[in-house]
Amino acid sequence: METSSSTTSVDLAAHGHPISDFFKQPSCAEEWEQYMLTEEQVKAFEEQGFISGIRVLTDNQVDILNNELESFQSIGGEKRDLFYYYESNESVDVSKTLFHAIGGWRVAPGFHDLIWSPAFRMAAYQLLGQSFRLFHDQLFCKPAKHGGVVAWHQDFSYWTFTKPMHHLTCWIALDDSTTENGCLYYVPESHKWGLLPITGLTGDMDAVREVLNKEQVELFDKKVTNELPRGFASFHHPLMMHGSYANYSERPRRAVVLNAMAFNTLGNTENYHRLDALNSFPVMKQDEVLNGRFFPLLFDGDKEIGKLNVPKVNTGLLYNGQ
Ligand SMILES: O=C(O)CCC(=O)C(=O)O
Ligand SMILES: [Fe+2]
């Protein structure tokens, strides 16, 4: 990967555009077509709350990101401070390990340019139904043999310091991800449940059961696995119930997650009760659009694809605010 190092600064958020040749970018509307989700995929997302099996990275790109990820394990000083969140082991059960970090896109060129992945951007545009920004990225890594769980949760339960709810998550496998090494699971249609309270991210896997009603428990037991080869992604709705079990296998299970939000998402921090959790995040003011260099515009529909006919979700149905 060639980066233009003479023009890069320590905080890569200074660059609101790709800084390397990590991806070849479409240069006209027609070149976006190869990345377009079908009508059926868009419908499936509306009905189930997720879609899966979308290739976002080549093998070589996965290798580059895994090398950068390895360098994050021993990172210190100025670079370490760029992360909004960094926990080498977030597991409540300390005999297991879950590396969780937010903000890698500010630190290393591959992760920086990943947010401009054309496959991610086209799909996210279709599934959000409009132009969007980066909210943030995340790394979730479980080492071989003793990888910790990510308890069942809805992403938006952690994001109520923003509004309205018009967000999307893209989960990208950096290792082949299977039931053995702790792949993600989804509860199809749980995105229709409304917003549930936070019940913890890294402790008791099933803690959320306590806040579910009888019907929800029945659906909960119909969870599905989201096995994916490295380089492939799934996309899920901000109210989608998802989680992942421990990794006792001989292989690591690493993943990078891209969280996107509609271009006009606002801060909602005034009465937010977990402000401590936002200590290292950029300042987000009540009722002000989250824009500027920490929330780069990743896709401007009019500019990128003009009048090209693209299947998109029904935004009123999926994102009617919470
Ligand atoms: O990687 C995992 O196991 C959890 C990921 C997650 O919570 C997410 O993508 O929103
Ligand atoms: Fe999540």
CA of 57 to the centre of ligand 2 (A): 21
| 211 phi and psi angles, rounded to 5 deg | -105, 5
Whether the CB of 244 sits within 6 Å of ligand 1? yes
pLDDT digits (tens, 9 = 90+) for 113-152: 999 999 999 999 999 999 999 999 999 999 999 999 999 9
* Residue-wise pLDDT tens digits, 57-70: 999 999 999 999 99
| C-beta of 64 in contact with ligand 1 (< 6 A) | no
Pick the range with the lowest mean pLDDT from 47-51, 74-78, 263-267.
Answer: 74-78
85-99 pLDDT per residue, tens: 999 999 999 999 999
Question: Residue 291 contacts by C-beta under 8 Å, 6 or more apart in sequence?
Answer: 133, 263, 297
Distance between Cα 117 and ligand 2 center (Å): 20
pTM score of the predicted model = 0.97
Each residue's pLDDT tens digit, 273-284:
988 889 899 999
Task: Give 164-206 pLDDT, tens digit per residue.
Answer: 999 999 999 999 999 999 999 999 999 999 999 999 999 899 9
Instruction: Tell me which residue has tokens 């991210």.
Output: 201
Residue 78 CA to residue 83 CA, distance in Å, equals 10
Predicted confidence (pLDDT) at residue 2 exceeds the cutoff of 80: no
Q: Secondary structure of the chain in the HEC alphabet? A: CCECHHHCCCCHHHCCCCCECCCCCCCCHHHHHHHCCCHHHHHHHHHHCEEEEEECCCHHHHHHHHHHHHHHCCCCHHHHCCCCEEECCCCCCCCCECEEEECHHHCCHHHHHHCCCHHHHHHHHHHHCCCEEEEEEEEEEECCCCECCEEEECHHHHCCCEECCCEEEEEEECCCECCCCCCEEECCCHHHCCCCCCCCCCCCCCHHHHHCCHHHHHHHCCCEEECECCCEEEEECCCCCEEECCECCCCCEEEEEEEEEECCCEECCCCCCCHHHHCCCCCCCECCECCCCCCCEEECHHHHHCCCCCCCCCHHHHCCCC
Ligand 1: centre distance to CA 138 (Å)? 8
Please state the atom number of ligand 1 nearest to the C-alpha of residue 183. 3
Q: Would you say the CB of residue 140 lies under 6 angstroms from ligand 1?
A: yes
Domains of the chain listed by start with CATH number: 32-318 (2.60.120.620)
| Stretch among 2-11, 28-37, 141-150, 181-190 having the lowest mean pLDDT | 2-11
User: CB burial class (10 A; 0-12, 13-18, 19+) of residue 249?
Assistant: middle
Nearest CA to ligand 1 atom 7: 243
Mean pLDDT of the chain: 95
Ligand 2 midpoint to CA 206 (Å): 14
Question: Which of 120, 184, 230 has most ligand 1 atoms within 8 Å of CB, for mutation?
Answer: 184
Ligand with minimal distance to 234 CA: 1
